[in-house]
Amino acid sequence: MANRVEAQSVGRMVLVTPSDTTRMEPTVGLAVNADGDVNVQCVGMVAPVVRSVVAGVDYPWRAIAVYATSTTATGIVALYQD
């Protein structure tokens, strides 16, 4: 049986450069180092949405894109399980 903490833990973090064309493998979450807005598209969404975010919070979004347009938050980090 898998360790519950291990199953919910972040094992890899990757700095995200917002782009209106680049897609990424689905994340288990996003974090930011500075407050602002993130224009994000998640798995199963047809269009992105702009969300206000606060630094230091891990957001449990299965993101596949972070768009440059309308994104004002900086230090965006993609969180992955493996």
DSSP for 1-42 reads: ---HHHHHS--EEEE----SS---PPPSEEE-SB-EEEEEEE
Residue owning tokens 């047809």: 46
28 assigned to some structural domain: yes
pLDDT number for residue 82 = 85
74 assigned to some structural domain: yes
5 assigned to some structural domain: no
pLDDT number for residue 1 = 47
Q: Which domain holds residue 54?
A: 14-80
Looking at the 3D structure of the chain, how many domains does it have? 1
What pLDDT tens digit does each residue of the chain (82 aa) get? 454 545 568 999 999 999 999 999 999 999 999 999 999 999 999 999 999 999 999 999 999 999 999 999 999 999 999 8
pLDDT number for residue 60 = 95
27 assigned to some structural domain: yes
pLDDT number for residue 6 = 53
4 assigned to some structural domain: no
8 assigned to some structural domain: no
59 assigned to some structural domain: yes
In 3D, which of 12, 14, 9, 16 has the Cα closest to residue 38? 16
The two tokens of residue 50 are 């702009």
| SS3 of residue 66 by DSSP | strand
72 assigned to some structural domain: yes
